[in-house]
């Protein structure tokens, strides 16, 4: 505690504030003492909603814990999820880093964030986050949703709109964006994700950040040089800096699995005018429907898949959006791929299903919630057992993420 | 025998007659011992004035221009093959008889296999220190002659049956040097003892490979390519001593005895090899016959557009400190290597901090020949080591100093820079033409880059066969400003500044601006020596002389490129029938390569319908790189198949073991702090002031990035407390200034009373403290601050503040202070 309160020369506290905080912190000697139901109720509410409960809610939750030793705490946690701050504060900041490359939390509300919040509120099977034809808007906010602007969500945020009350997800994403329903892939085809990860580049960013945000693995964690490298595109140098060892020991480990999966995004591009709109604020997701033939590729494949195609001319040439999951075998078999899916398909929706039905996806969501609620990652065998238990419950409970928040809060509510 | 057409080489006229100085060469030898290094001849040969009968045909005329004129001088072949020694292909009495004699020692269909080329390449009176360089030059003469004789109809690749070997057991180098006897049997007694004067990074004149490095791991890696574990007598270390007498030592002073040294080296390698178990080919595999790279058929490297090449560096030598100009255009502008560099397998030089420079005398030919046309092209296959060097870093420079030049191709991060001195630029060739920064045309990988200049089109840069679309804004000018005393150099400025790090695998200077089609042609041909490896699969398909053929080349110092496999039968009348083929993998030295098996998903069928009239069926258009292990002369390749004809080998990949459980670590504190948004919402809830209230929102917008982002309590900073305090004061101010809100929050308190009376009793103070405690701290929560202590502290603060005086002293101010002291405290912050 002393460490926490230490004032550095350049950052001095006011004497008054320091004195008061010292006094209050000193009082936390009682933290080591077992908390009673009111303490547990407060912590559950703090962790779920990010704000303390008012007196009435605290009493209600404490009473629930007292009267039902088995389910009372979980029910109390569900009460906490009724607080609007759970949606406007906790979930918004839980999701915000997933929506941009810098993983910054200080970003405006957007359709990606709003959709996840809405799905949690409505207890939607959370796997749909990667393949559903789903998108949430905010009722009563002008301007309306636009595929070429985020103004709708920024206006809602400026107004302090109660997202719990005003999010609406009844209109399918396809009806809002014009992307065919078969080409929607949950938040992957949201405008915010498109602007962040389909912009410029080669569309591999969408795959990488999806892995990071929804499988809790960056490329280093799935690195496997033993996969067949036949789908690595022409733009990947096989001899970076004139040294093939770099490729054979490094690049190939990610690209051999990533490129055949990221082929699912071959028809997508975030389109904007670099000259007049360099920050792409007016950009939009363009999907090449059948009949939309790119002049460079001669197919529906967007031209970025042919970037730098002379770097290694004998590499793979993308002709369609057929994807294959080479990671179903080898070291990444441990990601727990669904045996009920074929491991290959066409387009982002089926690829999203492949990821969302893996054990790694469920584990990732649970671990993220655990860390958000318990303010620490799983750190010992008891934590891991709890994670395992919650993953099983998540998978058998229609992938209800709100319940994961509640279960995590109960685990970390103190004794 | 099958024949595959390829484009013919189009090497053009040799421009040998422009200079007139002479030099008599007294020693041309094939020995390669270090003690007999001869100075390279840099002056042009003597050109005879022919006075005999006129050429009878156009082909004889082409022979005279391209071959005879170049070889007749007495410092080439003229001393012997003119007056007396047969074949008299440079006789000067009758060009037509010389033509007849030459036809007996050339192969115009395959100039590389001409007797004349092979003889010189084998060490017959080469006038340079590299037999291969002499061979290349004579080959270029014959190709120039053949280019006309063949009428451009193309060169043939003849597929012939390679030797048949089963994939053998092979000894492979363990990854860890400590698992071998390398140190005790080879390194300590010989390499680190006798080779350390040169083959070490910090030697006076460092000679790569550094197998005598003080770092045993570096030495081990470098030495592997020089030792043949399967046949120690064939080790390069042994041959270099025993047959080439390269820097032998006196094991028993004072006598230097190369044979004895070779025997000792062989014994050491043998001892090391004997301790390494052989890798046995899995008998369950369906395999082809085995081949080494040298068993392959050389794929044509022809087809390059070199009609106007005036300097050409292919870096084939692989050793020494000279890179030969094999353009055949005299004088040869050979480059002297200095600094830190190493030769690259598959032809090339890797510069780390080095330079390759021609003499100013030899460089003058570039000035003269380009000056005569007023246009030129710089062509290079290069692999920049990184995309961080600038200056520009000089890739190719023809200059007098870092500020005065004729031309330069350079690198600035992701850009190629092209400087060309004309009547429209300054003496340094500025303003430069650079590729667009955003395009990132330059990448740290092998690239084909061509910079062309002609007065009409100005400067243009092509990368990998494509024009970069960067337009030269400087009008075309004359090259009359060029200085004929400047020197031509690679990887550095001539004054040793602005070094460039990277690999150069081919550099050519043309005294014409290559067209876009010609550049694309040269890019498509590629770089380096390529082979067709014919892997015999007759045993499995039931057809004689049936092969799966790969085009194979050494990709860089560490890998091979295998590409475009096809099925082939040498009997042109044969048909394959139906042959299923699937799961092709490349085997190296007795085992399948663990990385790079890009053909493992091939799954097709060879059929009569798909088999082409030329006797091939493509199996894949892909290519892949496979790690080099022992070296191009030692690595033995074979193929394995999951299905081939009626044979099959099912590959079953074992499931991975479950990852071990992570180690337990002490738990972080189970309490933390609220983050920025939670703080904002909590303060709003506690005070009843909306987050959108104008004053509050303005404060939040100003301080939110100073508030905590992480909820870990151990990362809490005093600066964050400052932000919290500002926000707390803002909320409390908004609360106290709002008469209806404050009335609800502090019922009964008289805000209109003066400071001196508003707080002058415990009861009045409690009208402030009670609501603050109830709404900001909570009741009966043991983890919150102690109720009595907190109350006492707030009361003390109120008393202190109420004792104020002056214009700034107000009741509202005291309430705001009391409110903020609780709202901005850990009672709100800690969760």
Q: What pLDDT score was predicted for residue B48?
A: 56
Task: Decide if pLDDT at B564 tops 80.
Answer: yes
Nearest CA in chain A to B387: A241
Q: Which residues of B touch A226 (CB under 8 A)?
A: 594-595
Within 8 A by CB and 6+ apart from B600, the residues are A228, A230, B583, B584, B585, B642
Read off the pLDDT band of B30 (50, 70, 90). Answer: very low
Give pLDDT tens digits for B79-91: 888 878 888 898 8
Instruction: Give the residues across from B243 on adjacent strands.
Output: none
Q: What's the confidence (pLDDT) of residue B159?
A: 87
Which residue of A217, A244, A337 to mutate against B (max B Cβ within 10 Å)?
Answer: A244
Out of A10-19, B357-366, B649-658, least confident range: A10-19
How far is A405 from A397, CA to CA, in rounded Å? 13
B61 touches B55 (CB < 8 A): yes
Cα-flanking dihedrals φ and ψ of residue B532, to 5°?
-100, 120
Check if the beta carbon of residue B419 is closer than 8 Å to that of residue B430.
yes
The confidence score (pLDDT) of residue B156 equals 54
Residue B152, pLDDT above cutoff 90: no
Percent of chain A past pLDDT 70, that is, above it, reads: 92
- B388 to chain A, any CB pair closer than 8 A? The answer is no
CB contact under 8 A, A16 and B821: yes
Q: Which residue has the tokens 């604020």?
A: A281
pLDDT at residue B580 in the model: 97
Q: Which of chain B's residues have a Cβ under 8 Å away from the Cβ of A248? A: 558-559, 595-596, 625, 627
Give yes or no for B582 touching A (CB within 8 A).
no
Mean pLDDT of B401-408: 95
Q: Give the separation between CA B381 and CA B388, rounded to whole angstroms.
A: 19
Mean pLDDT check: name the lowest of B187-201, B287-301, B462-476, B626-640: B287-301
Q: Say if B660 is an interface residue toward chain A (CB within 8 Å).
A: no
Interface of B with A in 435-474 (CB under 8 A): 443-447, 463-466
Residues of chain B contacting residue A244, judged by C-beta atoms under 8 Å apart: 555-556, 558-559, 625, 627
Per-residue pLDDT at A32: 31
Burial zone of A8 (CB within 10 Å; 0-12 exposed, 13-18 middle, 19+ buried): exposed
- Confidence (pLDDT) at B524: 87
What angle (nearest 5°) sits at the alpha carbon of residue B466, between those of residues B460 and B468?
Answer: 50
Q: Determine whether the interchain pair B625/A30 forms a contact, defined as Cβ–Cβ distance below 8 Å.
A: no
Flag whether pLDDT at B697 surpasses 80: yes
Distance CA A278, CA A258 (A): 29
Strand segments (E) across B520-644: 530-536, 546-556, 559-569, 579-588, 591-592, 603-606, 616-618, 623-627, 636-644
Averaged pLDDT for residues B592-619:
92
Q: What pLDDT, on a 0 to 100 scale, did the predictor assign at position B687? A: 97
Q: Is residue B251 predicted with pLDDT exceeding 60?
A: yes
pLDDT tens digit sequence for B195-210? 998 888 888 777 778 8
Report the gap between the CA of A232 and the closest CA in chain B (Å): 9
Q: Given an 8 Å threshold on Cβ–Cβ distance, is B623 in contact with A312?
A: yes
Closest-CA distance of chain B to residue A172, Å:
30
Tell me which residue of B274, B316, B229 sits closest to B636, measured CA to CA: B229
For residues B158 and B555, the model is more confident at B555
With 90 as the cut, is the pLDDT of residue A137 above it?
Answer: yes
**What's the confidence (pLDDT) of residue B92?**
83
Residue of A nearest to B440 (CA): A308
> What is the pLDDT confidence band of residue B29, given thresholds at 50, 70 and 90?
very low
Mean pLDDT check: name the lowest of B306-315, B375-384, B593-602. B306-315
Q: What is the 3-state secondary structure (H, E, C) of B228-284?
A: CCCCHHHCHHHHHHHCCCCCCCCCECCECCHHHHHHHHHHHHHHHHHCCCEECCCCC
| pLDDT value, residue B253 | 65
Q: Please say if the pLDDT value at position A23 is more than 60.
A: no
Q: How far is B666 from chain A (nearest CA, A)?
A: 7
Instruction: Kindly report the number of other CB atoms within 10 A of residue A278's CB atom.
Output: 9
CB B493 within 8 A of CB B399: yes
**Residue A1 pLDDT:** 29
Query: In this complex, is the C-beta atom of B176 within 8 Å of any C-beta atom belonging to chain A?
Result: no
Q: Which residues contact A184 (CB under 8 A, 6 or more apart)?
A: A131, A132, A133, A134, A172, A173, A174, A177, A349
pLDDT, one tens digit per residue, over B173-186 is 888 888 889 999 99
Minimal Cα–Cα distance from B472 to chain A, Å? Answer: 22
Instruction: Note whether B714 contacts A414, CB cutoff 8 Å.
Output: no
Between B32 and B49, name the one with better pLDDT.
B49
**Is the pLDDT assigned to residue A242 strictly greater than 50?**
yes
A252 with B597: CB under 8 angstroms? no
What ipTM describes this predicted complex? 0.89
Q: Which stretches of B656-732 are assigned E, i.e. beta strand? A: none
Tell me how many residue pairs between chain A and chain B have CB atoms under 8 A apart: 263
Q: Which residues of A touch B791 (CB under 8 A)?
A: none
What pLDDT, on the 0 to 100 scale, is given for residue A312? Answer: 95
Using left for φ > 0, alpha for ψ between -120 and 50, and beta otherwise, residue B464 falls in left
Model confidence pLDDT, tens digit, residues B480-535? 989 999 999 999 999 999 999 999 999 999 999 999 999 999 998 888 888 999 99
Q: What percent of chain A has pLDDT over 90?
A: 90
A314/B561 touch (CB, cutoff 8 Å), yes or no: yes
What integer is the mean pLDDT of B294-302?
A: 77
Mean of pLDDT values over B105-128: 84
Average pLDDT on B801-814 reads 91
Q: Does B721 touch chain A (CB under 8 A)?
A: yes
Per-residue model confidence as pLDDT tens digits over B283-292 = 999 999 999 9
Q: Which residues 303-362 of B are in CB contact (within 8 Å) with A?
A: 344, 348, 350
Q: What is the pLDDT of residue B155?
A: 46
CB B322 within 8 A of CB B129: yes
Place of tokens 């509510």: A413
What would the mean pLDDT of B732-751 be, rounded to a whole number? 96
> Among all chains, which residue has been given the structure tokens 């290597």?
B337
pLDDT exceeds 70 at position B9: no
Instruction: Determine, for residues A379 and B664 on separate chains, whether the beta-carbon distance falls below 8 Å.
Output: yes
Asked whether residue B377 carries a pLDDT value surpassing 50, the answer given is yes
- With 60 as the cut, is the pLDDT of residue B217 above it? yes
Instruction: Work out the average pLDDT over B295-318.
Output: 84
pLDDT of residue B329: 86
């Amino acid at each position: 505690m002393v460490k926490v309160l230490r004032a550095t020369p350049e950052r001095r506290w006011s004497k008054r504030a320091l004195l008061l905080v010292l006094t209050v912190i000193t009082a936390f000697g009682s933290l080591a003492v077992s908390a009673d139901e009111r303490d547990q109720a407060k912590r559950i509410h703090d962790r779920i909603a990010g704000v303390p409960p008012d007196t009435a809610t605290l009493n209600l939750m404490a009473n629930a814990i007292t009267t039902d030793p088995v389910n009372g705490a979980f029910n109390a946690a569900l009460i906490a999820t009724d607080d609007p701050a759970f949606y406007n504060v906790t979930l918004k900041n839980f999701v915000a880093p997933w929506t941009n490359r810098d993983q910054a939390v200080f970003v405006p509300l957007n359709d990606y964030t709003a959709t996840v919040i809405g799905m949690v509120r409505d207890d939607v099977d959370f796997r749909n986050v990667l393949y559903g034809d789903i998108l949430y808007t905010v009722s009563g906010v002008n301007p309306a949703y636009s595929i070429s602007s985020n103004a709708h969500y920024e206006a809602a945020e400026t107004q302090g709109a109660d997202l719990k009350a005003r999010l609406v997800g009844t209109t399918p994403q396809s009806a809002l964006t014009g992307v065919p329903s078969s080409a929607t892939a949950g938040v992957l085809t949201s405008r915010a994700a498109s602007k962040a990860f389909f912009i410029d580049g080669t569309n591999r960013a969408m795959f990488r950040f999806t892995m990071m945000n929804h499988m809790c693995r960056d490329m280093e964690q799935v690195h496997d040089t033993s996969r067949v490298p036949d789908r690595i595109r022409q733009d990947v140098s096989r001899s970076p800096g004139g040294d093939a060892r770099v490729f054979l020991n490094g690049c190939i480990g990610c690209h051999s699995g990533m490129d055949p999966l990221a082929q699912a995004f071959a028809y997508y591009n975030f389109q904007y005018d670099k000259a007049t709109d360099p920050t792409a604020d007016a950009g939009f997701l363009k999907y090449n429907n059948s009949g939309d033939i790119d002049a460079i590729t001669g197919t529906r494949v967007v031209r970025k898949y042919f970037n730098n195609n002379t770097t290694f001319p004998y590499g793979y040439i993308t002709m369609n959006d057929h994807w294959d999951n080479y990671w179903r075998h080898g070291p990444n078999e441990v990601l727990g791929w669904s045996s009920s899916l074929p491991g290959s398909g066409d387009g982002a929706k089926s690829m999203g299903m492949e990821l969302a039905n893996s054990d790694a996806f469920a584990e990732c969501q649970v671990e993220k919630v655990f860390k958000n609620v318990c303010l620490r990652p799983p750190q010992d065998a008891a934590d891991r057992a709890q994670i395992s238990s919650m993953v099983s419950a998540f998978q058998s409970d229609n992938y209800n993420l709100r319940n994961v928040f509640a279960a995590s809060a109960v685990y970390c509510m103190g004794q | 025998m099958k024949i595959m057409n390829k484009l013919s080489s189009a090497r053009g006229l040799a421009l040998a007659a422009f200079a007139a100085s002479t030099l008599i060469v007294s020693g041309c030898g094939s020995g390669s011992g270090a003690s007999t290094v001869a100075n390279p001849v840099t002056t042009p040969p003597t050109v005879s004035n022919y006075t005999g009968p006129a050429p009878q045909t156009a082909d004889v005329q082409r022979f005279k221009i391209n071959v005879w004129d170049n070889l007749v001088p007495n410092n080439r072949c003229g001393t012997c093959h003119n007056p007396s020694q047969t074949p008299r292909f440079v006789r000067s009495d009758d060009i037509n008889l010389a033509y007849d004699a030459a036809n007996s020692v050339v192969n115009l269909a395959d100039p590389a296999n001409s007797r004349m080329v092979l003889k010189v390449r084998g060490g017959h009176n080469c006038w340079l220190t590299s037999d291969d360089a002499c061979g290349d030059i004579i080959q270029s003469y014959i190709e120039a002659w053949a280019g006309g004789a063949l009428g451009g109809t193309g060169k043939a690749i003849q597929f012939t049956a390679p030797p048949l070997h089963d994939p053998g057991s092979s000894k492979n180098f363990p990854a860890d040097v400590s698992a071998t006897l390398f140190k005790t049997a080879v390194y300590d007694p010989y390499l680190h003892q006798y080779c350390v004067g040169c083959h070490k990074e910090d030697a006076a004149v460092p000679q790569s490979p550094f197998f005598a490095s003080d770092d045993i791991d570096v030495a081990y890696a470098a030495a592997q390519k020089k030792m043949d574990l399967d046949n120690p007598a064939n080790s390069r270390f042994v041959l270099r001593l025993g047959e080439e007498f390269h820097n032998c030592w006196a094991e028993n002073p004072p006598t230097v005895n190369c044979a004895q040294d070779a025997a000792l080296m062989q014994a050491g390698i043998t001892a090391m090899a004997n301790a390494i178990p052989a890798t046995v080919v899995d008998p369950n595999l369906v395999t082809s016959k085995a081949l080494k790279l040298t068993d392959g058929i050389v794929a044509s490297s022809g087809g390059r557009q070199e009609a106007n090449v005036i300097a050409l560096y292919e870096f084939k030598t692989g050793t020494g400190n000279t890179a030969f100009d094999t353009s055949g255009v005299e004088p040869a502008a050979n480059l002297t290597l200095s600094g830190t560099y190493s030769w690259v397998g598959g032809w090339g030089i890797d510069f780390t901090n080095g330079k390759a420079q021609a003499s100013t005398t030899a460089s003058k030919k570039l000035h003269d020949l380009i000056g005569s046309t007023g246009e030129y092209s710089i062509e290079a296959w290069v692999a920049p080591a990184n995309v961080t060097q600038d200056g520009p870093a000089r890739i190719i420079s023809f200059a007098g100093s870092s500020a005065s030049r004729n031309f330069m191709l350079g690198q600035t991060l992701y850009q190629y820079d092209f400087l060309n001195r004309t009547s429209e630029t300054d003496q340094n060739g500025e303003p430069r033409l650079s590729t667009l920064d955003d395009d990132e045309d330059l990448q740290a990988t092998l690239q084909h880059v061509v910079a062309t200049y002609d007065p009409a089109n100005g400067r243009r840069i092509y990368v990998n066969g494509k024009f970069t679309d960067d337009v030269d804004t400087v009008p075309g000018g004359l090259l009359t400003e060029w200085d004929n005393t400047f020197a031509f150099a690679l990887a550095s400025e001539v004054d040793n500044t602005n070094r460039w790090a990277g690999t150069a695998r081919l550099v050519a200077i043309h005294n014409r601006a290559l067209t876009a089609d010609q550049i694309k042609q040269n890019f498509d041909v590629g770089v380096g020596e390529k082979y067709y490896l014919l892997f015999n699969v007759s045993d499995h398909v039931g057809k004689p002389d049936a092969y799966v053929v790969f085009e194979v080349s050494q990709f860089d110092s560490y890998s091979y490129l295998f590409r475009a496999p096809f099925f082939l039968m040498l009997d042109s009348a044969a048909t394959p029938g139906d042959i299923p083929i699937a799961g092709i993998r490349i085997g190296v030295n007795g085992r399948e390569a663990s990385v790079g098996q890009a053909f493992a998903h091939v799954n097709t069928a060879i059929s009569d319908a798909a088999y082409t009239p030329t006797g091939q069926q493509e199996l894949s258009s892909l290519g892949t790189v496979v790690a080099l292990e022992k070296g191009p002369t030692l690595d033995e390749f074979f193929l394995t198949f999951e299905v081939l004809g009626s044979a099959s080998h099912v590959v079953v990949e074992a499931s991975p073991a479950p990852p071990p459980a992570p180690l337990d670590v002490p738990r972080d504190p189970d309490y933390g702090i609220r983050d920025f948004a939670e703080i904002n919402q909590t303060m709003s809830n506690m005070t009843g002031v909306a987050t959108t209230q104008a004053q509050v929102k303005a404060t939040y917008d100003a301080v939110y990035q100073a508030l905590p982002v992480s909820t870990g309590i151990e990362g809490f900073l005093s600066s964050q407390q400052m932000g919290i305090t500002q926000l707390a004061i803002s909320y409390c101010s908004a609360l106290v200034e709002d008469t209806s809100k404050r009335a609800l929050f502090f019922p009964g308190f008289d805000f209109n009373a003066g400071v001196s009376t508003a707080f002058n009793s415990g009861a009045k103070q409690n009208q402030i403290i009670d609501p603050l405690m109830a709404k900001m701290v909570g009741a009966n929560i043991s983890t919150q601050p102690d109720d009595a202590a907190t109350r006492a502290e707030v009361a003390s603060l109120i008393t202190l503040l109420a004792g104020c005086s002056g214009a700034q002293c107000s009741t509202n101010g005291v309430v705001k202070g009391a409110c903020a002291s609780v709202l901005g405290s850990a009672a709100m912050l800690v969760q």
